[in-house]
Amino acid sequence: MSSCKSDGNSSETPTDKTLKEILTQYVNNTVRITYHNLADASIELEKACETLQSNKTQTNVDSAAHAWVKARKYWESSEAFLFGPATIRGIDPHIDSWPLDKSQLDALLGNATIMANFNADYATNNLNGGLLGFHALEYVLFRDGASRSVSDISDNELKYAVGVAGDLKLQSVTLEADWSGEDNLSAEKQSLLKDKEVTVSENWGDQIMDAGESGSQYKTQKEAILEILQAEKGCRGIADEVGNTKITDPVNSGNVLDVESWYSWNSKYDFQNNIRGVLNSCDGGVDYDNKRDTKLSIISYVKSLDLAEGTKLETAITDAIGEDGKTGIGTIPYPFRNHLNKADTQKAIDACNNLVDVIDEVCVLIQK
């Protein structure tokens, strides 16, 4: 994996500089900000669950459900860059597995010995993906696409939710630390990692930004760009997964249990946020807080190589999202769980596959 630079090539070309700016923009204004917001939202979610536990009101259920949706948006958009820490640490299956293991959950909630001392530490160290993360919390907080009736939620379920939310917070803060460096976290987050003995040894943001330089595992800047675009845990991978697994599998089986986020009916937004993560990755950052700079985007870079191909990539992404409801995922009637058929989903599947094909074309172009 070592770099192969010639000793005589010390001058920086404009292309090198541009790519470094693009990679820096990507790291700071797509990945780091998303994980920062995810961590903050997860902290809010844990607090909302704690508030609900201490004061069981419908308003507090609604607040916790709202906090779940907020955190969920950041997580789903982050699935466009699962390569690196989220994959290496196994955080993706840890916090986002479905279906929920309802039988084991029932057994857990019915176990007085375990529930007497259930907390986030127990969840982190003893439970697995089928009982953790977003879909475990979704089960406690939602039914039929709305926040659950407070009278239906048991005390043990709330205790469980607080523990699972605490584990989700830890995983989210860990991701932020892995990409931004532990020293760049708030004191509260640093304290959490220290308390939970989480070791952060690498700064993945620096790995990407320093591509082609000593110390980075990416021996060229283009290799880093390709990681972002082409990786199974990058843009191509999530576009493929949305079209050919997340949508196709439940359509083929006709089983609502195969649908991601079916308690909250958040599935369609999950899918769109997945592809919005692709847009954030390719178009120079997230589209809020004035963070996006399209001049420093992968799309602009691709356009500099081939204007038509760059435009094609841009169009393929926005078509797949379908903000106006006329294309791609936007055409799936709400809620997805009630429309598990080809007629209602084929445009979305086709748009995702088109995006995969366009990314493949772009990757060939970049490698020439």
Residue closer to other proteins (CB basis): 191 or 245: 245
Distance CA(182)–CA(173), nearest Å, equals 9
9 near other proteins, judged by CB under 8 A? yes
Residue closer to other proteins (CB basis): 84 or 205: 84
341 near other proteins, judged by CB under 8 A? no
163 near other proteins, judged by CB under 8 A? no
Pick from 325, 333, 332, 362: nearest CA to 349: 332
Q: CB burial class (10 A; 0-12, 13-18, 19+) of residue 33?
A: buried
State CA 306 to chain mean position distance.
30
Q: Are 221 and 19 in contact (CB under 8 A)?
A: yes
Looking at residues 223 to 242 of the shown chain, list those that interact with other proteins (rule: CB under 8 A): 223, 226-227, 230-234, 237, 240
- Contact segment (CB under 8 A) with other proteins among 69-77, 142-150, 218-226, 311-319 equals 218-226
Among 149, 257, 323, 333, binds other proteins (CB under 8 A): 257
112 near other proteins, judged by CB under 8 A? no
- Residue 211 corresponds to which tokens in the numbers above? 């591509």
Among 126, 149, 311, 341, binds other proteins (CB under 8 A): 126
CB of 287 to other proteins, least distance (A): 26
Indicate the helix (H) or strand (E) that contains 306: none
Q: CB burial class (10 A; 0-12, 13-18, 19+) of residue 14?
A: exposed
Q: Are 161 and 140 in contact (CB under 8 A)?
A: yes
- Contact segment (CB under 8 A) with other proteins among 5-13, 288-296, 323-331, 341-349 equals 5-13
> Is it true that the peptide bond before 335 is cis, omega within 30 degrees of 0?
yes
Distance CA(292)–CA(283), nearest Å, equals 7
Interaction site with other proteins (CB under 8 A): 1, 4-6, 8-9, 13, 15-16, 19, 83-84, 87-90, 93-94, 97, 99-104, 106-107, 111, 125-130, 212, 219-223, 226-227, 230-234, 237, 240, 244-245, 248-249, 253, 255, 257-258, 364, 367-368
